[in-house]
Amino acid sequence: MKESINLQIHPNPGIISDTMTQGIIILGSANSQGDTFKHAHYLSQLTGFPMLDLKTKNILPFDYEFKNQEDDFLDTFKEIVDNYNLLIFATPVYWYSMSGIMKIFFDRISDCLKIHKDSGRKLRGKKMAVLSAGYDRELKPGFHMPFIESAKYLGMTYVGDTHLAEEKSDLENQNAIHEFAQRLQPDTQGATP
Ligand SMILES: Cc1cc2nc3c(=O)[nH]c(=O)nc-3n(C[C@H](O)[C@H](O)[C@H](O)COP(=O)(O)O)c2cc1C
């Protein structure tokens, strides 16, 4: 697994379907080699979706005066919206929520609604899914709400989620990822962009 750590985007030959390469896994963990990475990497192997590690990017918090335009956000966002139709957000559960790194990325999408509107509009019609990794077997109610509502607001289709946990056995987690990978196949989803 180590060879992929330093790659910000690494292609991966899919074993389920070539057509699935239109997805991208956006990793938002504070640990580039941690549990979320491990699960996301397995999903990447199953689907052929590349993984983009937000921790390798310099993405600064949202600023009302848009002072952070020289960081990596816009290029990263464009890379995603110009090339992929399915965005899978892979986040650890930190304090019952998505990670801070992931939240900053979501906050910065506001840049694309205010000053980079051409890029922002490209989210419309795309699909969103969520992979979460926590200690607890069950997520607290409402964990997915920010994703579901953001997808709605952005004109995206929320196509599902999976939760992996330290409290679950390796086999349970693996089975959940397999099942998730199947659900992400284009012919099992609702709208096609
Ligand atoms: C700051 C912090 C907060 C956490 N909060 C929760 C939590 O609210 N619920 C939970 O189930 N696990 C929580 N955990 C455990 C992590 O979600 C779990 O260990 C996860 O597998 C870590 O993934 P990572 O290696 O990608 O960071 C927390 C861990 C950290 C470091």
pLDDT of the residue at 185 = 84
Q: What is the DSSP letter of 21?
A: G
Q: What's the CA-to-centroid distance between 89 and ligand 1, angstroms? A: 16
Q: What is the DSSP letter of 60?
A: P
The average pLDDT across 125-133 equals 98
Residue 41 lies in a domain: yes
Nearest CA to ligand 1 atom 18: 134
**Range of 102's domain?**
2-188
Q: How many domains does the chain have?
A: 1
Q: Is 96 in the pocket of ligand 1 (CB under 6 A)?
A: yes
Residue 193 lies in a domain: no
The average pLDDT across 141-167 equals 98
Q: For 160, left (φ over 0), alpha (ψ -120 to 50), or beta?
A: left
Residue 124 lies in a domain: yes
Q: Tell me the pLDDT tens digit for each residue of 64-79.
A: 999 999 999 999 999 9
Q: Is 138 in the pocket of ligand 1 (CB under 6 A)?
A: no
Q: What's the CA-to-centroid distance between 93 and ligand 1, angstroms? A: 5
Output the six-digit token pair for 88.
């899978």
Q: Tell me the pLDDT tens digit for each residue of 29-42.
A: 999 999 999 999 99
CATH of the domain at 154: 3.40.50.360
Q: Are the CB atoms for 155 and 124 separated by under 8 Å?
A: yes
Q: What's the CA-to-centroid distance between 28 and ligand 1, angstroms? A: 12
Residue 96 lies in a domain: yes
Atom of ligand 1 nearest to the CA of 36: 26
Residue 13 lies in a domain: yes
Residue 44 lies in a domain: yes
List own/partner pairs for 166-175 with CB under 8 A and 24 or more apart. Answer: 166/35, 166/134, 166/135, 167/135, 167/136, 167/137, 168/137, 173/39, 174/42
pLDDT of the residue at 126 = 96
Q: Which of 94, 168, 173 to mutate to test the pocket of ligand 1 (most atoms within 8 A of CB)?
A: 94
User: What whole-number percentage of the chain has pLDDT above 90?
Assistant: 84
